[in-house]
Structure 1
Amino acid sequence: MSEKLSIDEQMVPFKGRNRLKQYLPKKPKKWGYKLMVLAGSDGIPHNIEVYTGKVVQPTHLVDIGASGNVVLRLAQPVPQHKNYKLYFDNWFTSVPLQLELARQGVHCLGTVRSTRLPGSSMVSDAELKRSGRGSFQEKTAVVGNTTLYAVKWYDNRSVTLLSDYVGAHPVTHVQRWDRGSKAIIDVPCPAVVRDYNQHMGGVDLLDSLIALYRTKIRSKKWYHRLFFHFLDMIVATCWLLYKRHCRCNNLSDAEVMRLYAFKSYIAQGLCKSGKSLEKKRGRPSGGISSDYETKKRQGPTAPIPIPDVRLDATAHWIIMSEKKGRCRVPGCKGTPKAKCRKCNAHLCFTSTTNCFLKFHTE
């Protein structure tokens, strides 16, 4: 689990009839099932909760309101007193939540609504706007052993953030386009804003990866959409773990497999690995589907199957094709008629050369 973690809402697109369906107008997919997800800043999820309406808070957790209770339930796998940091938006953030997380030894940062800062008189939006772009105000409060930092910053509009471990300083600069001068200018940016923008997007990153190649299967059963969404989430998570492993082994970006190829390899492995190609028992299906198969256009070369299929030692039989083909073993220049029925690859099989055995064992 990475040190920087974010909690956010995730939508499973669905427009059918079901009492669990929600409407979130600010999401790219506005209709669907709502999930609450705890994910690292790298997009790897660690805890999920499906929104089903009112939830009774477990007895071992403090009850601090509906939004705060969601964070406490999702944050249970986070190690306590290990300087882990949680990020969330203004629907979750409140002073009682931050105090409870601080008691557990988990730091947190989030945008906050002004109505959830009791006794705090922050400057108005109009006054910050008159002060200029990049102006901010910081206020601190000490509650027990916890120091809370509330920072209100004005960029295109004002935003207020609440944290128990970082405040406005040190102040850096970010580049923004100024319509008045028609040029890029430097705008002062508090440290709390920079930290929030840098680590809050873990759930959004996971959403974007799932949406790239989402499994689209029409069904009247409402739970199928959740099931296939979780499958897509598993594949995206595995790819993120694979990328982390590649970085640890100092592989370049060109050597890392893309998500599309990664998902295709998984599909090919599940469909062919360890399985025979024998026809199923029973009456053959009618129609002209078999005729279509014979008319499919063949490419210049058959692709080499993935290692999970090539080395599974199941249903690899030699057949003789009508035309010769280049042997698929690297370094062999033979053009045999023999080929593997399952791998659809031409391979030499003579008294002097056994590329068939080499192809399926090495």
Structure 2
Amino acid sequence: MGEKLAVDEQMVPFKGRNRLKQYLPAKPKKWGYKILVLAGSDGVPHNFEIYTGRVVQPPELPDVGASGNVVLRLAQPIPKHQKHKLFFDNWFTSVPLILTLAQQGIHCAGTVRVNRLPGVSMMCDAELKRTGRGSFDQKTAMVGDTTLHAVKWYDNRSVSLLSDYIGAHPVTDVDRWDGKQKKVIRVPCPAVVREYNKNMGGVDLLDSLIALYRTKIRSKKWYHRLMFHFIDMTTVTAWLLYKRDCSSTGMSKEEQIRLYTFKSYIGESLCKSGKNLEHKRGRPSSTIAGEYKEKRKRGPATPIPVPDVRLDATAHWMVMDEKKGRCKVPGCKGTPKAKCQKCDVHLCFTSTSNCFLRFHTE
């Protein structure tokens, strides 16, 4: 689990009839089931909860309000007093929530609604606008052993943030487009705003990766949509962990498998790994794919199956093809007629070269 984590909403697209269906106008898919997710800044999810309305808080957790209780439930897997940092938006942020997490050694930062800052008087929007773009106001207060920083920053409009570990300083400049001057200008940006923008997008990253190759199924059953959504989430999570491991070993991004290929490998492994070939009864049927294969004079090389299929030691039968093909064992230049019926690749099988055995064992 990484140091920087975020809690945010995720939508499972659904337009059927169900009382759990929600409408979120700010999301790309506005209708569907809302899932509240705890994820790292790299997009790896660690906990989630399907939104079903107000629920009873477990007795071992404090009650800090309906939205704040969601964060406390999702944050249970986070190790205590390990200096983890948690980010969330203004639907969750409140003073009691941040104080409760601070007692557990979890630092927080998030956008906050002004009415959730009782007794805090910040500069009004008109005054900040007169001061200029990039102006901000900061208030600091001690509550017990916790220092709270409330920062209001004005860019195109104002935004308020609350944190227990970072305030407005150090202030850095960020690039912003000026519509009047028609050019990019430098605007002062408080540290808490920069920290929030940098680490809040983990759930959105996960959601965008799921949407790239979502399993599309037309069904009015709510559990079908949720089940396939969680399958997609699991696949993306496995790919993100794979990329993390590849980066730790120094593998370049060009050598790493893309998400589309990774997902197809999983499908191929589930369909073929450890399974015998099924022989159909009756006369062989001609398919469009088979006819197209016969028409091709010269096409791309036959792909090598994934290791889960190649090394499963199940139903790899040798057959003789009518035409010769290049042996698929690296370094072998033979062109045998022998091929594996399951892997559909040509392999040498002679008294001097047993590529068939090497291909299925190494």
- Structure 1 residues 99-138: aligned runs within 5 Å: 99-138=99-138
- In the alignment, what sits opposite 1:235? 235
Greater alpha carbon shift after TM alignment, 152-161 vs 298-307 = 298-307
One-letter code of the match for 2:54? Answer: K
- In the alignment, what sits opposite 2:263? 263
One-letter code of the match for 2:325? Answer: G
Quote the offset at 1:351 in angstroms.
2.3
**Cα deviations by residue, 1:99-158 (Å, 9 ceiling, x for unpaired):** 111122111000000111101111111111111110000001111111110000011111
- In the alignment, what sits opposite 2:329? 329
One-letter code of the match for 2:138? Answer: E
Q: 1:353–1:68: structure 2 CA closer, same or farther, 3 Å change rule? A: same
- In the alignment, what sits opposite 1:174? 174
Quote the offset at 1:289 in angstroms.
5.6
**Cα deviations by residue, 1:194-229 (Å, 9 ceiling, x for unpaired):** 000010001001001101110112223210110011
Whole-Å separation in 1 of the counterparts to 2:22 and 2:71: 19
Tell me the SS of whatever aligns to 2:11: strand
- In the alignment, what sits opposite 2:139? 139
- In the alignment, what sits opposite 2:303? 303
Whole-Å separation in 1 of the counterparts to 2:133 and 2:319: 74
Whole-Å separation in 2 of the counterparts to 1:108 and 1:273: 45
Q: 1:277–1:158: structure 2 CA closer, same or farther, 3 Å change rule? A: same
RMSD, aligned α-carbons: 1.5
Quote the offset at 1:293 in angstroms.
4.8
- Structure 1 residues 155-304: aligned runs within 5 Å: 155-279=155-279, 290-297=286-293, 299-304=299-304
Whole-Å separation in 2 of the counterparts to 1:347 and 1:82: 55
Quote the offset at 1:256 in angstroms.
1.4
The two structures have a TM-score, normalised by structure 2, of 0.96
Tell me the SS of whatever aligns to 1:296: helix
Matched positions, count? 358
Quote the offset at 1:290 in angstroms.
4.0
- In the alignment, what sits opposite 1:88? 88
- In the alignment, what sits opposite 1:353? 353
One-letter code of the match for 2:290? Answer: T
Q: 1:276–1:296: structure 2 CA closer, same or farther, 3 Å change rule? A: farther
Whole-Å separation in 2 of the counterparts to 1:308 and 1:175: 48
One-letter code of the match for 1:108? Answer: C
Whole-Å separation in 2 of the counterparts to 1:37 and 1:289: 48
Quote the offset at 1:180 in angstroms.
2.3
Tell me the SS of whatever aligns to 2:254: helix
Whole-Å separation in 2 of the counterparts to 1:215 and 1:129: 47
Tell me the SS of whatever aligns to 2:303: coil
Quote the offset at 1:56 in angstroms.
0.5
**Cα deviations by residue, 1:5-43 (Å, 9 ceiling, x for unpaired):** 100000011111111111101001101110000001111
Whole-Å separation in 2 of the counterparts to 1:271 and 1:322: 27
Whole-Å separation in 2 of the counterparts to 1:163 and 1:347: 63
The two structures have a TM-score, normalised by structure 1, of 0.96
Whole-Å separation in 2 of the counterparts to 1:311 and 1:253: 26
**Cα deviations by residue, 1:303-332 (Å, 9 ceiling, x for unpaired):** 111111111111011111111111111222
One-letter code of the match for 1:311? Answer: L
Tell me the SS of whatever aligns to 1:253: coil
One-letter code of the match for 1:235? Answer: T
Q: Structure 1 regions of 5+ residues with no counterpart?
A: none
- In the alignment, what sits opposite 1:74? 74
Q: Structure 2 regions of 5+ residues with no counterpart?
A: none
